[in-house]
Amino acid sequence: MRISMVSEHASPLAGLGGVDAGGQNVHVASLSAALVRRQHEVTVYTRRDDPGLPDRVTAPEGYEVVHVPAGPAEPLPKDELLPHMGEFAQFLAGEWAARPPDVAHSHFWMSGLASVLAAQRTGVPVVQTYHALGTVKRRYQGDQDTSPRDRIAIERLVGRKASLIAATCADEVEELGRMGLPRTRIAVVPCGVDPDLFHSVGPVAARGARHRIVSVGRLVPRKGFADLIAALPSLPGTELVIAGGPPDLSADPEAGRLAGLAAECGVRDRVHLIGQVARPDMPRLLRSADVVACVPWYEPFGIVPLEAMACGVPVVASAVGGLTDTVVDGVTGLLTPPRDVKRLVRKLRKLLTDASLRHAFAVAGEDRISARYTWAEVAKRTELLYERVCAEENLAVAR
């Protein structure tokens, strides 16, 4: 099968940890690689953000990456990319007319817009994965939401025009239903984890005698790092390692804010902001933790808990979004209400003071990953969706 992946701002080749580089980059790269291993031909279309990038490049995993000329060839915040999606769609239409894919899989709402516009001219069926929804972002960020004004309306349009929506969790299905999109056109396929990279046996990052909590993510307020820092005074003998952001944090405003908060709380010596961690080094950092904490205010899915469970580490996570699917409360970790520091302290303390419970959660977490969340399993389920939309397209043409 010939598959076009469309990921306008999240290149599978990008380094992680920046403001607009995170789980979607991992998802697109890992799913593409897993589909190549299943003998599919995969081309990823992402926006050119550097004039020095080649037009096309083949990733080591075997998929091709096409750098699409859409807007200036320089980094732009993703919230400023909407005016360039017409140009992106025009490029896709030209590519697909010359060599039609069997299916296009668009990632994020703007990729969806470009894809359905190109599909109107070429007839290519489109599977849409949102990764995040504007309704949720606006609910939690309010006036701080920097998304384009028309985002939610465009998300509805994309959902109606796409052949099928691939939601990543049950919570997203409910949100899409509230947006008025038909549930018969929605299927759930989660994100995954690479078991060859993330597993429990392997090198462990150096650490001291203190208990260690590790938290990973982009350095933005909604990730909840401030709540973990606020919890630390009630957890003596415990250090917090926060991985994410640029390699050099000296000029990063959120890193500065978190360091200042740690000083105010009297725990600056126990909070370690280590910046961007190379992906091959992430497993050893996770294995060094007694607990991996993922406590965002909201989270569309969240790959870090999967990676932690694959590494045999129990998780404390906010009971939001996809985290309520992946973390089984009381089995693979503990769920806690978001932005509730007192309850967060109780959950962390329960695990940090009970080694037997940590071990039980670790074993259960590894089993859950191997059964449901490897990229091989996710690719297999995604392939079934592609076959479904292709069969429906062929039937429509026959009629």
CATH classification of the domain holding 279: 3.40.50.2000
Number of separate domains in the chain: 2
Same-domain pairing of 305 and 291: yes
Residue 201 domain-assigned?
Answer: no
- What pLDDT is recorded for position 17? 43
Split at pLDDT 50, 70, 90, the class of 140 is: confident
Q: Is 64's pLDDT higher than 60?
A: yes
Same-domain pairing of 95 and 153: yes
Residue 109 domain-assigned?
Answer: yes
Same-domain pairing of 107 and 188: yes
Q: Is 20's pLDDT higher than 60?
A: no
How confident is the model over 323-355, as pLDDT tens digits? 999 999 999 999 999 999 999 999 999 999 999
- What pLDDT is recorded for position 96? 98
Per the listing, tokens 């967060």 go with: 344
Residue 198 domain-assigned?
Answer: no
Q: How far apart are CA 309 and CA 139, in angstroms?
A: 30
- What pLDDT is recorded for position 23? 78
Same-domain pairing of 141 and 229: no
Q: How far apart are the first and last CA of the chain?
A: 23
Same-domain pairing of 315 and 266: yes
Q: What value does the mean pLDDT take over residues 120-145?
A: 92
How confident is the model over 265-318, as pLDDT tens digits? 999 999 999 999 988 999 999 999 999 999 999 888 888 999 999 999 999 999
- What pLDDT is recorded for position 301? 85
Q: How far apart are CA 340 and CA 328, in angstroms?
A: 19
Residue 206 domain-assigned?
Answer: no
Same-domain pairing of 13 and 159: yes
- What pLDDT is recorded for position 19? 44
Residue 314 domain-assigned?
Answer: yes
Count Cα neighbours of 72 within 13 Å in the Cβ-side half-sphere.
6
Same-domain pairing of 283 and 379: no
Same-domain pairing of 111 and 230: no
- What pLDDT is recorded for position 150? 95
Same-domain pairing of 188 and 247: no
How confident is the model over 144-200, as pLDDT tens digits? 888 999 999 999 999 999 999 999 999 999 999 999 999 999 999 999 999 999 999
Residue 25 domain-assigned?
Answer: yes
Same-domain pairing of 216 and 114: no
Q: Are the C-beta atoms of 317 and 329 separated by less than 8 Å?
A: no
Same-domain pairing of 179 and 159: yes
Residue 203 domain-assigned?
Answer: no
The range of the structural domain enclosing residue 147 comes to 2-192+375-398
Same-domain pairing of 364 and 216: yes
